[in-house]
Structure 1
């Protein structure tokens, strides 16, 4: 149970505009300032926040101070981060100034809404310096401290960093881990947690991976939205598995939408799926199965649900395929013939085009937001759902631009494993080697299968 300290009742909400381009908060510029010792998941949180906001059409960008520092010092030892190392301190301050200056420039170009300043910001003096700089340029600040004393989580994060951090590329993993622990000790000597002395700041403290969340002085709508997302995060290692349903009769006929049964090859994939998942999971950990409410996904997951007694299964209406309105049950050739203007409009802007009486990809993203929140709260999930829905979920994890996401190929009879890491999300695709039609359509095509 999370303990929520602070209140959102006193929040003031800025005027919000909603149109076909999504939610827009006028005149808002926010710097999310990460705070915390190394190996506390700051970079993972930072990239998640940027990815989440971009997925919701809110312009966001990450400014990682380590990236600026690496331009001059690509692979420093732990001694570089010792406060008694004056030259190292000077170079780290220069990197922080460069990051903040670029952030201000990005805001002043007029396209940015939320910036994330990813650094330790480990002292009160450094946090005050960031706030004063932002105040001078009319940028709100939201400090996000990840505070963790759980040794198991810290060691897992050290393992993560030593294998994925740009600071340790090509180094022996054990040597890297030892150096990184020494770096942490150097920061621990000077680290100051956010406390009552900084009660004028707007901040969120995530303690021990969100087991306790302390909120202070949240100011407006967009800050509250970021806070709500942060309250649902955890940084424990886990994976998400994605699969389309098995090949359906509608797939064979080239039709979209509907609630058709699986084909013979689709049934074969359903029977093979438990083996694919078992080989990918690799241990006996609990796994939760999510499907849509449509027949083809439920049928695809039915053997998986019975294969392991500790596999729970849930059906989500939010995971149903994109609603195709008057085009439901038609082939693309029929749509082009009966609704030529709509067919062209969808090719021109597939993300924002809404089927007559149906949905757009943007609409699907909006209804998937609760799914994303639940995914961030959960451990290991396998989702068996539909092409358009998987495109939206995949785009969230892999940071695919909106205009590209509706055109991604998500093949049938393939299990996709996504593993979020501190600096990126790893992807593994496992084909079942069971033939299926391709439902991928290029712009302008009306082919039945391609």
Structure 2
């Protein structure tokens, strides 16, 4: 079995924007999401190609528009990355390649559009625009100063050099112009870290999914807890599924969870549960309002609900063997597969991305799928 073929022709996502505007953050996060929903995606970061080609970064001089030697190297790096993009989308079963670079001139974007046209790829531009100097400075401090470029540099010098590097791009920066020059392009502008968005000519289903995702994410620090329900009566009996309540040990666990949550002292903590008793009873010990999500219910084991694994092996030996061969795509008769579960959980992920502090009390298979998203694990690693 293979993943859903969402993109009929492969897509190149082209990042656009000055340095320190969160392009790499968006690239990595979007790639993680697309892989999780089953669309093979990979980031091609031109900066990494440059570091490979030029082992020792000296200073912002390298990025000066009048530094012809360096300009040549930078163009070669972009071309090398595009060659790898082509390889990935044509021979390695990739469906989406994220081309992560500044791409701040119409000339460079034109070159990428020609490349895509020659190879039959669709193109979607994501431009990150941020004119708030404090946001940019924070990004430089948190991300750029730890870059390999500044390994042997104190933070003041690194900061100064990086700001000069931004200025090198500023002079020739041509933002995307959906009203005139770029009116035919498919694009989204993300303005001031998601305060505003401008969307132009979304071509297909996958691009609309990307737009929807980008409009839900934020960069504020917060805490997400994923917690399994306390031990249930069926856990004690080794039975899967069903809707049993907590065992005595499960009730003790719920009280211990309450103590833990109080110690964390998080403001406005939201609590989410499934609609099954074992998660609801776990949440009730917390003395906090909680929200029930049907989407968080445990994987539906169909005809195997309320059976032990031994009973499944004896009564449905062929199913038991099939499940063993491929746990991710295996679907219980009249039930669900892990792949179905990922689809069911997508709205939960979207809402988690929008929220601040959340405690999700859920079930083993559900938790595996949620963890796979946050830890960037492939489908094969989920079950």
TM-score (norm 1): 0.78
Native 8 Å contact 2:20 2:144 kept in 1: no
Superposition map of 1:85-164 within 5 A = 85-109=67-91, 111-162=93-144
User: Residue 339 in 1 paired to residue 316 in 2?
Assistant: yes
C-alpha distance after superposition, 1:371-391 (max 9, x if no partner): 111122222322111110011
Match of 2:21 among 29, 35, 40: 40
What is the match of residue 221 of structure 2? 237
Pair 247,87 (structure 1): closer, same or farther in 2 beyond 3 Å: farther
What SS does the aligned partner of 1:403 have? Answer: helix
What is the match of residue 369 of structure 2? 392
User: Residue 351 in 1 paired to residue 328 in 2?
Assistant: yes
Match of 2:360 among 357, 363, 383: 383
TM-score (norm 2): 0.91
Pair 174,339 (structure 1): closer, same or farther in 2 beyond 3 Å: farther
Higher helix share: 2
**Offset at residue 84 of structure 1 (A):** 3.3
Native 8 Å contact 2:266 2:357 kept in 1: no
Match of 1:248 among 232, 249, 273: 232
Higher strand share: 1
Superposition map of 1:310-329 within 5 A = 313-329=290-306
Native 8 Å contact 2:7 2:95 kept in 1: no
Native 8 Å contact 1:323 1:358 kept in 2: yes
Match of 1:258 among 229, 242, 261: 242
**Offset at residue 79 of structure 1 (A):** 3.2
Pair 272,224 (structure 1): closer, same or farther in 2 beyond 3 Å: same
Native 8 Å contact 2:104 2:172 kept in 1: yes
- How many residues are aligned here? 380
Native 8 Å contact 2:274 2:297 kept in 1: yes
Distance 1:245 1:163 in 2: 42
What SS does the aligned partner of 2:44 have? Answer: strand
What is the RMSD computed on CA atoms of the aligned residues?
Answer: 2.3
**Offset at residue 86 of structure 1 (A):** 3.0
C-alpha distance after superposition, 1:165-193 (max 9, x if no partner): 44445765555444433333332233221
C-alpha distance after superposition, 1:5-29 (max 9, x if no partner): xxxxxxxxxxxxxxx6453146411
Gaps of 5+ in 2: none
**Offset at residue 278 of structure 1 (A):** 5.4
Gaps of 5+ in 1: 1-19, 307-311, 407-450
C-alpha distance after superposition, 1:74-117 (max 9, x if no partner): 56233332323333322222211110111112222161211110
Superposition map of 1:182-221 within 5 A = 182-195=164-177, 196-221=180-205
